[in-house]
Amino acid sequence: MFGTQQRGVNAYAKVGLETGIVSASPHKLIVMLYDGALVAVLSAQVHMKSGNVPEKGKSISKAIQIIDNGLRASLDKEAGGQIAEGLDALYEYMSARLLAANIRNDLGMLEEVQRLLTDLRETWNAIGATPAAMPGADLKRMPSLASA
């Protein structure tokens, strides 16, 4: 009549995630995409080490989807200029490395992408701590930033 406890936990987690997405700032959404990609890559590593080929493939596919359809799709190349172009190339590289890691069963490639994602996430978080990146920041009222 009531289903399993795990389904209830999964439903609760899904509601929590959806609520977090709706209330998140654009900056926080990018952090969430990095987190999701990292979890997928780490999961792929575990499955690769244990020889679970189907789950490894699912995890790698999920990481590629997050990178391509989340991180790359969110880039504004006009406003972002060279930085956005560089990130686009890096995201493309990471997706290609993930695909190659899946085909070759290469743990080193997964670890490389994990390091890149971790570095990008840490950098993005550091940017988020600046006053200009905070929600409601008004550069006109911050003379030191407005003149920069």
| Residue-wise pLDDT tens digits, 89-120 | 999 999 999 999 999 999 999 999 999 999 99
Please report the domains of the chain, with CATH numbers, ordered by start residue: 11-126 (1.20.120.340)
Tell me, what's the pLDDT at 23?
Answer: 55
How would DSSP label each residue in 106-120? -HHHHHHHHHHHHHH
Q: What is the mean pLDDT of the chain?
A: 81
13 pLDDT tier (thresholds 50, 70, 90) = very low
Q: Are 56 and 129 in contact (CB under 8 A)?
A: no
Q: Is the pLDDT of residue 11 over 60?
A: no
Flag whether pLDDT at 140 surpasses 50.
Answer: no
Question: Under a CB-based contact definition with an 8 Å cutoff, are residues 63 and 113 in contact?
Answer: yes
Q: Of all helices (H) and strands (E), which one includes residue 136?
A: none
Task: Give the residue from 124, 137, 132, 119 showing the smallest Cα distance to 32.
Answer: 124
Task: Give the CA angle between residues 58, 35, 12 to the nearest 5°.
Answer: 80
Arithmetic mean of pLDDT, 7-35: 65
Report CA torsion sign: 101, 41, 92, 130: negative
- Percent of the chain's residues with pLDDT above 70: 70
Across the range 47-66, mean pLDDT stands at: 98
Q: What is the pTM of this model?
A: 0.74
Residue 143 confidence (pLDDT) above 50: no
Please say if the pLDDT value at position 148 is more than 50.
no
- At 129 the pLDDT is 65
How high is the pLDDT of residue 146? 36
Q: How many CB atoms lie within 10 A of CB 79?
A: 8
C-alpha distances (whole Å) from 68 to each of 63, 64, 80, 90, 126 are 9, 6, 17, 11, 23
